[in-house]
């Protein structure tokens, strides 16, 4: 079944993976960019440029956090421009991709 016109809106998805210690600095950048909504997932692990991160390793706890947000293209450009020098300082990765957004009925 095809979707009705107007249900989906083209947007940008930004995913940021950083060390949890830098989360407050990152959230400050997002506030300065007037971001009105995001999702934070703490205590995540994986393998990247800083090596393996195991959130269950209590002897060497170095958990990452993932921040996901959806915004329009002009705001995505602003966020990435503001975030780039900060990521160079405190590390991490930022992924930008096209997406389609929809919302439910108003309450």
User: pLDDT at position 12, please?
Assistant: 96
pLDDT tens digits for 41-99? 998 766 555 655 555 555 556 788 999 999 999 999 999 999 999 888 877 889 999 99
Contacts of 93 (CB under 8 A, 6+ apart): 16, 17, 18, 48, 49, 87
Please check whether residue 97 is in contact with residue 16, taking contact to mean a CB–CB distance below 8 angstroms: no
Looking at per-residue confidence, does 2 or 36 come out higher?
36
Half-sphere exposure of 98 (CA within 13 A, CB side): 3
Q: Is residue 103 pLDDT above 70, yes or no?
A: yes
pLDDT at res. 54:
56
Task: Determine the pLDDT at residue 61.
Answer: 61
Look-up of token digits 């600095």: 25
Alpha carbon distance 55, 36 (integer Å) = 28
Look at residues 99, 104, 107, 103 and name the one whose alpha carbon lies nearest to residue 10.
Answer: 99
Confidence grade of residue 107 (pLDDT, cut at 50, 70, 90): very low
Domains identified in the chain and CATH numbers: 9-101 (3.30.70.120)
**Coil, strand, or helix at residue 94?**
strand
* Per-residue model confidence (pLDDT) at position 35: 93
- Above 80 in pLDDT, residue 9? yes
């Amino acid at each position: 079944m095809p979707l009705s016109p107007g249900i989906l809106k083209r947007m940008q998805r930004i995913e940021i993976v950083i060390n949890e210690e830098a989360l407050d600095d990152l959230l400050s950048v997002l506030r300065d960019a007037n971001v009105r909504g995001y999702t934070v997932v703490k205590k995540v692990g994986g393998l990247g440029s800083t090596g393996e991160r195991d959130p269950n390793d209590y002897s060497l706890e170095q958990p990452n956090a993932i921040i996901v947000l959806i915004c329009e293209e002009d705001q995505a450009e602003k966020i990435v421009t503001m975030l780039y020098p900060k990521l160079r300082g405190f590390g991490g990765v930022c992924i930008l991709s096209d997406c389609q957004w929809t919302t439910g009925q108003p309450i």
